[in-house]
Amino acid sequence: MHQQRHERLDEEERAPDVGEAITSAATELFLNRGYDGTSLARIAEAAGVSKSTLFKQLPTKAALFEAIVTESWQRDVGDTAARPQAGDLRSGLTAIGHRYADLIGRPRMAGLFRIVIAELPRFPELGQMQFHLGKLPYFAFVQHYLESEHEAGNADVPDAESATNQFLGMIANYVLWPRMLLTGWNPTASEINNAVEEAVQTMLARYTPTHRPDPKPESPH
């Protein structure tokens, strides 16, 4: 009895680490054993926590997968300090681009996509979670930034949704998607930086407004 109470206290004291351990263990097991072939009991064992602790926080695999998606995607979305303010299109796009490259370049993000792709025929709800809880909020965050720059006159972006697709797509096409097909794909930090900078330059060439000089006043003569 005393031993069980001591274990509960230890888990409560390291609560932030417990959540990370659970999602890490679940991601690894989902990849290796499949979503359907992984039980919550096995996840608890792999994470080094009691089953009661796991069931209390995340009573179903669907709730656990939702937590993985949310944790993986929404770190920056909810951080107002991380959002660039309108005023400098190059600076804002550069900050967003590097953060996005870091986000989708993490091994867990590639693992998350692999789980969804592998299990989509049997568990379409996993794809819906990935889209609605992960990709869509991040996409909206970038779209809102471009709309802000357009409204401020710092960019000419008549279709911010399309522009967001273009920008994030250019980065993901280099950083994420080759990793889904090529086991040895591991670009260097310098190569990723170059990919982001090229994407920024392309966006600037397309969306920097053309300022025309004010017409000269007509001569009275």
Tell me the per-residue pLDDT of 95-139, one tens digit each, with 9 for 90 and over: 999 999 999 998 889 889 999 999 999 999 999 999 999 999 999
Which CATH architecture describes the domain 2-59?
Orthogonal Bundle (1.10)
Listed by start position, the domains of the chain span 2-59, 72-207
Average pLDDT along the chain, 221 residues, taken 10 residues at a time: 44 60 91 92 94 90 92 68 83 96 90 92 95 93 96 96 98 95 90 98 96 54 49
Give tens-digit pLDDT for 48-66.
999 998 988 899 999 999 9
Residue of 138, 149, 148, 144 lying closest to 172 (CA atoms): 138
Q: Which fold has domain 72-207?
A: Tetracycline Repressor; domain 2 (1.10.357)
Q: What's the distance, CA 27 to chain centroid?
A: 15
The pTM for the full model equals 0.81
Dihedral of alpha carbons 92, 95, 99, 102, sign? positive
Distance CA 115, CA 110 (A): 9
Distance CA 129, CA 69 (A): 7
* DSSP H/E element including 143: helix 136-151
Helices (H), the chain: 2-13, 15-33, 40-47, 51-57, 61-73, 89-104, 107-119, 124-129, 136-151, 160-175, 177-181, 189-207
